[in-house]
Each structure stands twice: as structure tokens, then as C-alpha cells.
Amino acid sequence: MSKHYLSIDIGGTHLKSALIDRSGHILAKTRTKTQKSLPDFLAAIEGIISERQQEIRGIAFSTPGKVDTQKGTISFGGALPFLDGVSLKEILTAKFALPVSVINDGKAAALAELWLGNLQGIDNGAAITLGTGIGGGIILDGRLVEGTHFQAGELSFMLNAARNSENVNEQRLSVQQLYGFSGSAVAMIRQAAKQLGLDDLADGEAVFEAINRKDPQVWPLFVEYCREIACMILNVQSVVDLSCYVIGGGISAQEIVCEEINHQYDGLLNSLPLLQQTLTKPMIKACHFQNDANILGALYQFFLSHENNQLAK
């Protein structure tokens, strides 16, 4: 029996796992609740692996936080702070005698698009995931850029100095001046839900029903949000000159999101001829993958780390 690969996406709410073959075909999927302490978390992970141990030749992880992909060590951990300083690679290789890779979830999404999605054949591109903050990964010369400290593509931490700070001492920054705050899709939906008087402030479906009909209660808020994302893309574009940006995250399934980001980007260029003359506009479109992006990208990272000469085509 040929063996496959186990890919696990670590989320703040759920652990999503998939058995995947070398070509990226998902053979089986499971989902379980993410535990909130390190011992319980590791027990859950080990349980998932044990069930598939005889079927797999390696384990791939996608996780929040900054990740040293060489050591498999997670820093910070995002919504799961107990992962700070944990090397899943070291712990699980020792326990299961299987090769393990670990990568940041935003970078995993970029790799999924590079491997099998809308960045295929693109030498210079980026994936931007819009959620609680802004994740992403940048591809240059056909390769994911990790950076000296494994923090390339951390778009949430880009400074938007034009926004007002809540600090009395204006010499100090506040979180409101980071793009991860102004570009938060979750925050935009919550604010729009409040404007609409919805009981469920996370009801994205109802919010986008209103946005798609350009309800005056929420349309200006949505336009401002898309302008923030367009500004961020323009800032990145001025530095790395990419040919394509693919937009991920739950809201990217709404066609109006990429339409309005493109519209706002055009408006920025048209408002200043110097920009229009100097910067060539890249393609801006939705990601191919949604829910499966992280598990597929994590597996591609495994191939890059352990089977570089045998990558699936």
C-alpha cells in the first residue's frame, strides 16, 4: 500500500487534518476542537497522528505565529500563546519517527496558491488572507520569501501612520495604526453588523447581503475597508513589484470584495499621476483555495523541506 501525508491546520477554534496524496488530492478530512493548554493540545495532535500512523510517510503543520521552518519552532502563537517556544518538529519526530514540517498559516496559503492555485506559473506574487488580522506570503522568483527572522509577509504589522492614535502621547504608536487593525475583516463585519442592528455581530452573510445591495448604512464602511487594503497592496507593490495578488480569507468568496479593492486601487493611481506613470498595476483576484488552502500549503512546505527533488507536479 502506498503511503500518503498527514497535514494539520492549527486554528484558534479547530484543528483541521487531512490525508493527502503526493499530487495534492485530499483523501480524507477530520476536524476537532482546539484544546487550550499545551498538554491537552499535544494529546489531541498525537491522537490524530496515531490514527493515521500506518498510512503516512510524513506530517505537515500550518500554524499561527512566527515559525522557524528549519527548527519547526513557533514564536508567539497568535490565538494560542501556549505554543510560544514549542518545536512541534522536535517533539513529534522523536515520538513518531516520521519527518515533520511546520509553517505559518499565511505563508501556507501562499504556497497552496503557488502549487495548485492562482499563483501557479507566477514568479512574483503574493497571497493576502483577510481575517482577524492580515496574513500573507510573498513569492519572489518562484520561491516563498521567509526573511532573515522568518517574518516576511507579516502584513498586519505594516504601519498606517496616517490613522489617528488613541495615545495621548502622540510619540507612541497604538495598535489602531497597524494595518492588521484597519484591515481586519472580522472587525469590519462586526462594525457593519452593529450599523445594521443585527443580533449576531459575526453574521457575515447578512452583512454582505447589505453590502451587495449597497445599503447606505454599510456601503461607506465597506468602501473604506477596501481602500485600506488597496493602500496596503500599493505599499507592498512599490517595494517588490509583483505581478499578481490573490486575496484569501472567508470574505474573498464574495466577488464584490476583489471588485471593490481593484476599484479603490485604480482610484489611488488615478488620483496621483506620478503613481500611475511609475507603478504598473498588478492583477488582484481571489484565491483559488478557501478552507483547504492551509493544509495544502503546509504539505507543499513539507515537500520543499524533505522531498525537494521529488516535488509533485
Question: What is the pLDDT tens value at each position of the chain, 313 positions in all?
Answer: 689 999 999 999 999 999 999 999 999 999 999 999 999 999 999 999 999 999 999 999 999 999 999 999 999 988 899 999 999 999 999 999 999 999 999 999 999 999 999 999 999 999 999 999 999 999 999 999 999 999 999 999 999 877 765 555 566 888 889 999 989 999 999 999 999 999 999 999 999 999 999 999 999 999 999 999 999 999 999 999 999 999 999 999 999 999 999 999 999 999 999 999 999 999 999 999 988 999 999 999 999 999 764 454 3
Q: Is the dihedral of CA 50, 54, 55, 60 positive or negative?
A: positive
For residue 154, give the amino acid letter: E
Collect all residues with Cβ–Cβ distance below 8 Å to 245 and sequence separation of at least 6: 125, 126, 127, 128, 233, 236, 282, 283, 284, 285
Give the C-alpha distances (Å, rounded to integers) separating 65 from 10, 73, 144, 282. 10, 10, 17, 28
Q: Residues 32, 18: contact at Cβ < 8 Å?
A: no
Residue among 230, 228, 258, 234 nearest 246 (CA) = 258
| CA–CA gap between residue 207 and residue 275 (Å, rounded) | 33
Sequence-ordered list of residues with C-beta below 8 angstroms from that of 81, at least 6 positions apart, any chain:
none
3-state secondary structure of 184: coil
Give the C-alpha distances (Å, rounded to integers) separating 88 from 261, 303, 309.
37, 17, 24
By the 8 A CB rule, do 232 and 183 touch? Answer: yes
Q: Is the dihedral of CA 70, 294, 253, 139 positive or negative?
A: positive
What is 4-105+291-310's CATH number?
A: 3.30.420.40
pTM of structure: 0.93
C-beta separation of 61 from 42 below 8 A: no
Pick the CATH number of 118-286 from 3.30.420.40, 3.30.565.10, 3.40.50.1820, 3.30.300.30: 3.30.420.40
* Residue 204: partners with Cβ closer than 8 Å, 6 or more residues away: 189, 250, 251
SS3 84: coil
| Residues forming CATH 3.30.420.40 domain(s) in the chain | 4-105+291-310, 118-286
**b/e 123-162 (16+ beta carbons within 10 angstroms → b):** ebbbbbbbbbbbbbbbbeeeebebeeebebbbbbebebee
Q: Do 184 and 225 form a contact (C-beta atoms < 8 A)?
A: no
